[in-house]
């Protein structure tokens, strides 16, 4: 079974007008996000999206399962990013450069100096970052990123560069880890890598490349999301294009042409 997910195109003031034509022709609109709507709606455990940035996004944090459920959400939010393209000088903000107190963090969020507390990492094509719940983070300008996350609409903004949007300091500071947040899963992904990027606790994520990807594919029934990152991707002899995401119940029908690449994710 193959289900092509509905594409949801989201305009953002920090979006871009020059996103690849594979995603569609948007007539010069400033597109920030492309989501894929799962037929299970909010019950789907995983959400996939592409992000296109021309400005820094808000500095934010997500709760873990326990904190999110206490606030009335189905689940918390771990998420991860794979950088597909980057302008010179592009950055990702992941955690803080040093331990601090929540009181100092609140003051910094209010006066804007929180920007200088973020661990801003240079972001290049192929960089992979896993953001555990509680990690203070931000996506910089000049990036195209594919994001895989737990499926929940729960983001606590700590700072938004003066944009007229609500902040969530009390809720965000209550769940934030006020210090550095390195993760062993962070690193580089080469275009020809076939490897498991994430092995739980909430989802598994494979980077697949070329015909050799067949050896990596799960052989059991499941709820798999398949996301092409290039042309040349097929499922059961049916083409799946860059700019699409499909849900399949078997992964062993995936076939990639030489130099093709894709992501495959599924819940734990």
Rounded to the nearest integer, the mean pLDDT of the chain is 97
Residue 189 has a pLDDT of 98
Spatial distance between the Cα atoms of 208 and 213, rounded to a whole number of angstroms: 5
Q: Tokens at residue 151, please?
A: 């499926």
Owner of token pair 């606590």: 156
pLDDT for 47-59, tens place per residue? 999 999 999 999 9
Residue 80 has a pLDDT of 98
Query: HEC string of 217-228?
Result: CCCCCCCEEEEE
Nearest 10 degrees: Cα torsion 85, 86, 92, 97: 130
Nearest 10 degrees: Cα torsion 194, 198, 199, 200: -160
Distances (CA, A) of 58 to 126, 137, 138, 150, 230: 23, 8, 6, 19, 29
Alpha helices in the chain (DSSP H): 65-70, 102-111, 169-175
- % of residues, the chain, pLDDT over 90: 98
What is the pTM (predicted TM-score) of this model? 0.96
Q: Tokens at residue 66, please?
A: 């326990």
Least Cα distance to 135 among 102, 95, 187 occurs for: 95
Distances (CA, A) of 126 to 118, 145, 187: 21, 10, 8
Residue 180 has a pLDDT of 98
Spatial distance between the Cα atoms of 36 and 40, rounded to a whole number of angstroms: 12
pLDDT for 236-250, tens place per residue? 999 999 999 999 999
Spatial distance between the Cα atoms of 119 and 179, rounded to a whole number of angstroms: 9
Tens of each residue's pLDDT in the chain, 268 residues:
899 999 999 999 999 999 999 999 999 999 999 999 999 999 999 999 999 999 999 999 999 999 999 999 999 999 999 999 999 999 999 999 999 999 999 999 999 999 999 999 999 999 999 999 999 999 999 999 999 999 999 999 999 999 989 999 999 999 999 999 999 999 999 999 999 999 999 999 999 999 999 999 999 999 999 999 999 999 999 999 999 999 999 999 999 999 999 999 999 9
- Distance, C-alpha 260 to centroid of its chain: 20
Spatial distance between the Cα atoms of 162 and 110, rounded to a whole number of angstroms: 10
135 burial via Cβ count (<10 Å: 0-12, 13-18, 19+):
buried
Active-site positions? 157
Cross-strand bridge partners of residue 198 = 205
Spatial distance between the Cα atoms of 213 and 203, rounded to a whole number of angstroms: 19
CB-CB contact of 226 with 173 (8 Å): no
Least Cα distance to 22 among 232, 237, 254 occurs for: 232
Pairing of strands 203-209, 261-267: antiparallel
Spatial distance between the Cα atoms of 260 and 25, rounded to a whole number of angstroms: 23
Q: Tokens at residue 210, please?
A: 């070329």
């Amino acid at each position: 079974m193959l289900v092509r997910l509905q594409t949801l195109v989201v305009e953002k003031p920090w979006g871009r007008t020059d996103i690849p034509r594979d995603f569609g022709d948007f007539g010069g609109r400033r597109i920030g996000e492309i989501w894929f709507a799962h037929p299970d709606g909010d019950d789907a455990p995983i959400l996939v999206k592409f992000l296109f940035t021309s400005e820094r996004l808000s500095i934010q944090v997500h709760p873990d399962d326990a904190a999110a459920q206490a606030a009335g959400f189905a689940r918390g939010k771990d998420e991860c990013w794979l950088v597909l393209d980057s302008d010179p000088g592009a950055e990702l903000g992941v955690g803080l450069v040093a331990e601090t107190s929540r009181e100092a963090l609140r003051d910094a969020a209010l006066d804007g100096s929180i920007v200088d507390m973020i661990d801003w990492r240079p972001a290049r094509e192929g960089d992979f970052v896993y953001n555990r719940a509680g990690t203070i983070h931000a996506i910089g300008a000049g990036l195209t990123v594919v994001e895989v996350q737990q499926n929940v609409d729960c983001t606590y903004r700590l700072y938004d560069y003066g944009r007229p949007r609500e902040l969530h300091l009390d809720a965000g500071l209550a769940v934030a880890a006020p210090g550095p947040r390195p993760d062993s899963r962070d690193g580089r992904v080469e275009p020809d890598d076939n490897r498991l990027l994430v092995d739980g606790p909430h989802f598994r994520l494979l980077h697949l490349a070329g015909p050799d990807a067949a050896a990596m594919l799960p052989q059991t029934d499941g709820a798999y999301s398949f996301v092409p990152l290039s042309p040349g991707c097929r499922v059961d002899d049916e083409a799946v294009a860059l700019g699409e995401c499909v849900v399949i119940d078997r992964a062993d029908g995936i076939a990639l042409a030489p130099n093709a690449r894709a992501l495959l994710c599924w819940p734990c």
